[in-house]
Chain A
Amino acid sequence: MREVAVVAFAQAPSVRREDRRNEVEMLMPVVREALDACGLTKSDIGFFVSGSSDYLAGASFAFVHALDAVGAWPPIQESHVEMDGAWALYEAWVRLQHGDVDTALVYAFGKSSPGPLRELLALQLDPYVLAPLWPDAVSLAALQARTLLDAGRLTEADLAEVVRRSRRAALANPNAQLRGEPEIEALLGEPYLVSPLRRHDCPPISDGAAAVVLAAGERARSLTRRPAWIAGIDHRIEAHAIGARELAASPSTRMAAGRAGVFSGPVDVAELHAPFSHQELILREALRLDDGTQVNPSGGALAANPMMVAGLIRIGEAARRVTDGGVRRAVAHATSGPCLQQNLVCVLEGRGSA
């Protein structure tokens, strides 16, 4: 395998509603910041790939419009995934394995605010028997949480603890949307949104954008003092039918983690894309994380969850901690689909002395 590393990362602060700038106007400064961070210009980039969803914008081919943020002249090599930007990064990693280009720009954008997000996400379900019932995203997540509670695998206080840690961690993250120091008792005193989930167990609705620059081999070493090397990356998917899945575990995360090499060494930091509080506990178990791993120092998706961007942000946040020198080995996770249907796991390593 060709060595590939994250050499730059930039993100827009997540906000509840970006009602002044359109998607391209949100994206342009982020792309610029990522390129500037590693001293590259558009013409230095060998491959461009984006992640977004036209359902969020409510317009077909909205992702083509987003190309205005990079400028596609002279013609560029470009691709798009109708998924979180983490999967765009996976495509860029595969593309760099071909060996003919050394750099890739990955960007993701998502405004979750324009449409009715909970209902909109029902449209990713089976269109014949499930989507016509409009099971919204929070209700499906609540079914999953209920499965865990009924099995005695966790308590509502465990969920509140996840939220408390996320809010506290986000105090140090200027791009987070929700932060604070809530008390467990106060959290448990809140009413249910969809039982057993309270509003704080659910992710905020967020508008945001992010960009990552990947580079291979010597090119990566020349661009940054300490590249965050992608030691392993894999993604796996589970059945489309919710009823056919075991919701209390994440076998696809476990399998992707094994293929990415998570279990072959200690994990200093893990950035988990767990939009709902109970999902962090499922993912910790699937990834076999213990108290030796710092989980979601950014606050995670409970603190900011721009759709199609939050997974790429996990990779960027994990890479940033490696690049800054404080962390030797980090794991980033991204999810897509209802109830952790599809999962991507990426191991990032710093080499040599920090």
Chain B
Amino acid sequence: MSGDPVRSIRTPIALEYRYTPGLASSRFLRAVAEGRLIGQRCPVCRKVYIPTRGSCPTDGVPTEEEVELPDRGTVTTFCVVNVPFAGHAIEMPYVAASIQLDGADIAFQHLLQEIAADQVRIGMRVQAVWKPPDEWGPSLENIRHFRPLTEPS
């Protein structure tokens, strides 16, 4: 009794979850739905985190003081993406950047557009480009992308 060895099997698995963002993330998302960016300040080290997750990862204490931040900031690092992902409609190559908003102590990731990929630099000043307000929801996708900011120096 022998046959070809079984080299693989398929066992499809799908589980549905009801996700709870938590108190701090919910406040952040509700504010984003109104076009506002809310950070939270650590009572110990005074750092401002955005998006807020409700705790200071350095001190392990709740961050309750809220700080409204502008939609302008600085590129702290970036990468040029040349490999398309399934479902992505963005033209290649594009730039994914870490952006530190003015007044924040931590950067978050977003798209950087309206500039050629090879012109992007660390330290570049950028500004959010929002979708029209009637398309806003509780998501950072309300910001379509960031673009270079020209401001008086």
Contacts and interface: CB of A to CB of B under 8 A. Distances in A.
A18 interface: yes
B60 A70 contact: yes
B60 A123 contact: no
A68 B57 contact: yes
B8 to A, nearest CB: 10
A42 interface: yes
Contacts of A23: 22
Interface in B47-100: 53-62
Interface string A139-169: 0000000000000000000000000000000
Given A24-B53, A25-B22, A115 B60 contact: no
B15 A28 contact: no
Given A20-B20, A22-B25, A119-B15, A73 B58 contact: yes
Given A25-B54, A28-B62, A131 B11 contact: yes
Interface of B: prevailing SS? loop
Interface in B1-35: 9, 11, 13, 15-26
Contacts of A114: 17-20
A115 B22 contact: no
A205 B4 CA distance: 45
Interface in A16-43: 18-25, 28, 31, 42
A116 interface: yes
Nearest to B44: A71
Given A58-B19, A114-B17, A119-B15, A42 B60 contact: yes
B22 A71 contact: no
A67 interface: yes
Nearest to A24: B55
Name which of A18, A68, A113 has the most chain B CB atoms within 10 A of its CB: A68
Given A22-B25, A25-B54, A31 B60 contact: yes
Nearest to A67: B57
A22 B60 contact: no
B60 A71 contact: yes
A69 B63 CA distance: 11
A70 B19 CA distance: 23
Given A116-B15, A131-B11, A71 B56 contact: yes
A25 B61 contact: no
A348 B62 CA distance: 34
A132 interface: yes
A61 to B, nearest CB: 14
Contacts of A70: 60
Interface in A92-129: 111, 113-116, 119-120, 123, 127-128
A70 B57 CA distance: 7
B6 to A, nearest CB: 9
A241 interface: no
Nearest to A71: B60
A58 B17 contact: yes
B143 to A, nearest CB: 23
A354 interface: no
A72 B57 contact: yes
Given A28-B61, A127-B11, A132-B11, A111 B20 contact: yes
Contact of B18 (A42, A67, A73, A113): A113
Nearest to B57: A68
20 contacts: A18-B20, A20-B23, A20-B26, A21-B20, A22-B21, A22-B22, A22-B23, A22-B53, A23-B22, A25-B23, A25-B55, A28-B60, A68-B56, A69-B60, A71-B55, A114-B20, A115-B18, A116-B16, A119-B15, A132-B9
Interface of A: 18-25, 28, 31, 42, 57-58, 65, 67-73, 111, 113-116, 119-120, 123, 127-128, 131-132
Given A24-B53, A28-B61, A116-B16, 12 more contacts: A21-B22, A22-B20, A23-B22, A24-B54, A25-B54, A28-B62, A68-B56, A69-B55, A72-B57, A114-B20, A123-B13, A132-B9
Nearest 4 pairs of A and B residues by beta carbon: A71-B60, A22-B22, A58-B17, A73-B58
